Amino acid sequence: MSGRPDLKPASTAINAGRGASGSALAPALWASSVWESACLDDAHRRATGVRSGEFYGRYANPTVRSFEQAIAELEGDRLDDIDAMAFASGMGAIATTVLALCSAGDHIVAARQLYAGTLAFLQGPCRRFGIDVTLVDGTEPGAMAAAVQPGRTTMVLAETPSNPRLELVDLDELAAITGPFTAVDSTFATPLGQQPLAHGVDIVIHSATKGIAGHNDATIGVVAAERELVDAIWGYGVLHGAMASPFDALNALRGVRTMAVRTTHQSAGAQRIAEWLNDHPAVAAVYYPGLPTHPQHDLAKRQMRQFGTMLAFELAGGRDAAAQLLDRIELIRCATSLGGPETLICHPMTTTHASLTPQEQAESGVTPGLMRVSVGLEDADDLVADLTRALEA
Ligand SMILES: Cc1ncc(COP(=O)(O)O)c(C=O)c1O
Helix, coil or strand: residue 85: strand
Residue nearest (by alpha carbon) to ligand 1 atom 6: 90
Pocket test for ligand 1, best of 207, 355, 364, 373 (most atoms within 8 A of CB): 207
**Cα angle at 340 between 338 and 345, to 5 degrees?**
45
Atom of ligand 1 nearest to the CA of 93: 11
Decide whether any atom of ligand 1 lies within 6 Å of the 186 Cβ: no
pLDDT, residue 80, reads 87
Largest CA distance in the chain: 73
Q: Which of 77, 83, 185, 202 is catalytic?
A: 185
Decide whether any atom of ligand 1 lies within 6 Å of the 90 Cβ: yes
Helix, coil or strand: residue 56: strand
Residue 161: cis peptide before it, omega within 30 degrees of 0: yes
Q: Going from the N-terminus, what domains does the chain have, and what CATH number goes with each?
A: 9-255 (3.40.640.10), 260-392 (3.90.1150.10)
Strand pairing class (344-346; 333-334): parallel
Decide whether any atom of ligand 1 lies within 6 Å of the 97 Cβ: no
CA of 383 to the centre of ligand 1 (A): 25
Q: What is the CA radius of gyration of the chain?
A: 21
Residue nearest (by alpha carbon) to ligand 1 atom 8: 90
C-alpha span between 10 and 77 (Å, rounded): 11
List strands edge to edge, sheet with 82-87: 82-87, 221-226, 203-207, 181-185, 153-159, 107-111, 132-136
C-alpha span between 113 and 138 (Å, rounded): 7
Decide whether any atom of ligand 1 lies within 6 Å of the 163 Cβ: yes
Decide whether any atom of ligand 1 lies within 6 Å of the 139 Cβ: no
**Cα angle at 117 between 114 and 122, to 5 degrees?**
75
Catalytic-residue membership of 185: yes
pLDDT, residue 393, reads 64
b/e for 179-190, b at 16 or more Cβ within 10 A?
Answer: ebbbbbbbbbbb
Atom of ligand 1 nearest to the CA of 220: 10
Nearest-CA neighbor of 58 among 245, 207, 248?
245
CA of 62 to the centre of ligand 1 (A): 25
CA of 40 to the centre of ligand 1 (A): 42
Decide whether any atom of ligand 1 lies within 6 Å of the 374 Cβ: no
CA of 146 to the centre of ligand 1 (A): 27
CA of 92 to the centre of ligand 1 (A): 10
Give the chain's residues under pLDDT 50: 1
Q: How many CB atoms lie within 10 A of CB 108?
A: 24
Catalytic-residue membership of 8: no
Atom of ligand 1 nearest to the CA of 188: 1
pLDDT, residue 2, reads 57
E strands in the chain: 82-87, 107-111, 132-136, 153-159, 181-185, 203-207, 221-226, 283-287, 310-315, 333-334, 344-346, 370-374
pLDDT, residue 1, reads 43
Which residues are CB-contacts of 329 (< 8 A; sequence separation ≥ 6)? Answer: 345, 386, 387, 390
Catalytic-residue membership of 115: yes
Decide whether any atom of ligand 1 lies within 6 Å of the 91 Cβ: yes
Strand partners, 81: none
Atom of ligand 1 nearest to the CA of 187: 1
Catalytic-residue membership of 41: no
Residue pair 79/207 in contact (Cβ under 8 Å)? The answer is no
Residue pair 69/19 in contact (Cβ under 8 Å)? The answer is yes
Strand pairing class (203-207; 221-226): antiparallel
Residues in the chain: 393
Strand partners, 224: 84, 204
Q: Which of 18, 210, 262, 372 is catalytic?
A: 210
User: At residue 274, what is the residue type?
Assistant: A
Decide whether any atom of ligand 1 lies within 6 Å of the 309 Cβ: no
Residue pair 316/284 in contact (Cβ under 8 Å)? The answer is yes
**DSSP codes joined into one string, 268-320:** HHHHHHHHHHHT-TTEEEEE-TTSTTSTTHHHHHHH-SS--SEEEEEETTHHH
pTM above 0.95, yes or no: yes
Decide whether any atom of ligand 1 lies within 6 Å of the 339 Cβ: no
Decide whether any atom of ligand 1 lies within 6 Å of the 187 Cβ: yes
Helix axes 62-75, 246-278, angle to 10 degrees: 40
